[in-house]
Amino acid sequence: MENMLSIGIIGCGNIGRTHAASIAKAGTCRVAACCDIDPAALAAFGDAFKVERRTLAYRELLGWSGIDAVTVGLPNHLHAPVTIDALRAGRHVFCEKPIALNMTEADAMARMSRESGKRLVIGVVNRWSDSINRIKGIVSRGEIGDVYQVNVMFKSFRSIPGLGGWFTDKARAGGGVMIDWGVHFIDLVFYILGGPTVKAVSGKGFGVLARNPEGYRFLDMWAGPPIAGGVCDVEEYASGIIRTDGAFITFEGAWAQNINERAMYVDFLGSRGGIRLDYGAGFTIYGQADDYLFETKPMATDSDFFVNEFRGFADAVLTGKPSRADIAVVLPVQKVLDMFYASSREDREVTS
């Protein structure tokens, strides 16, 4: 490996392209091979990123020499089996979020990482955001006092992704907006707060607007277009609470709702001040100084957190240092997802 990490891309769709573009800019890693079951997607990806070693079978890629690590950018139900195979084959793995469909699969992935001695990093990219790391520093230094409440919003109007495809198929996705968007927001909150212990989760998911996909009208559909005759059996709306040994956390999220509003923010309420993170657009600090109140919005431009993510992955593999996104520190978020879906299904609060 020396000073350059050679990576094979497994999955040449949108997220695989994001991975490849970020790897190209990172400077400490390179795309050495690619794989996809779709010949057209494989060819287009290989040509776009000038990758010569290509295959339709990921196990063939795992058998090639000169591949130090792989990225897994596949539908959620494939995360566990492909990651476990890669670790068993002696490859370090960068697996896109969420970790897996459920905690059982996630635990199996973590166990194989330990047994193989290979790094398993999860694509919770917000841990590499400059703004989020600045907020983490402010909170950890106690500048806004004790954080007692966190309010999380991740809502859009009519933007269910890839309706009828794997995004809306519970068997392949594991869930809807909560496992897709919610995982990012819960993870960044846990990261900023320093990993609180979860005591209980109570929540509800609603899947009502697109149960008849042909009748669903929308303004936006990333990962589209709609697939006629496809399945939609996941939640497009989710809300709930998370009780921890520290802050009380509330959340509300929607791929789609019948209110034309987009809300993407997180409020951290402290005993001495507060912070609103405007997702992807910086943050504002509120507080009191002497006999007046203040509101401050730092003027700083974030670097590319996808590029930072792969610099971090390469550094963790090449130096052996822990990654801030190692599976061990992300597992509590998978646990919250499991608890949320159990609470929604059983109409009760779920305790740890």
Is this structure's pTM higher than 0.85? yes
Residue 208: which region, alpha, beta or left (left: phi > 0; alpha: psi -120 to 50)?
A: alpha
pLDDT of residue 299: 87
Same domain for 264 and 150, yes or no, is yes
Question: Are the CB atoms for 227 and 122 separated by under 8 Å?
Answer: no
Question: Are the CB atoms for 12 and 35 separated by under 8 Å?
Answer: yes
Cα 177 from Cα 198, distance rounded (Å): 21
Q: Is residue 337 part of a domain?
A: no
Task: List per-residue pLDDT tens for the chain, 352 residues long.
Answer: 568 999 999 999 999 999 999 999 999 999 999 999 999 999 999 999 999 999 999 999 999 999 999 999 999 999 999 999 999 999 999 999 999 999 999 999 999 999 999 999 999 999 999 999 999 999 999 999 999 999 999 999 999 999 999 999 999 999 999 999 999 999 999 999 999 999 999 999 999 999 988 889 998 898 888 998 899 999 999 999 999 999 999 999 999 999 999 999 999 999 999 999 999 899 999 999 989 999 999 988 889 999 999 999 999 999 999 999 999 999 999 999 999 999 999 999 999 8
Cα 208 from Cα 232, distance rounded (Å): 10
In this structure, what token pair is assigned to residue 175?
């869930």
The CATH number covering residue 317 comes to 3.40.50.720
Instruction: List Cβ neighbours of 140 (8 Å cut-off, separation of 6 or more).
Output: 194
Same domain for 61 and 112, yes or no, is yes
Q: What is the DSSP string of 203-261?
A: EEEE--TTSSGGG---S--TT-S--TT-B--S-SEEEEEEEESS-EEEEEEESB-SS--
The CATH number covering residue 168 comes to 3.30.360.10
Same domain for 106 and 136, yes or no, is no
Cα 157 from Cα 256, distance rounded (Å): 5
Q: Is residue 231 part of a domain?
A: yes
Sign of the CA dihedral 173, 175, 177, 180? negative
Classify residue 260 by burial, with Cβ atoms within 10 Å: 0-12, 13-18, 19+: exposed
Q: Name the domain count of the chain.
A: 2
Helix (H, G, I), strand (E, B) or coil at 177: helix
Q: Is residue 314 part of a domain?
A: yes
Same domain for 142 and 116, yes or no, is no
State which residues form the domain around 207: 129-302
pLDDT of residue 65: 94
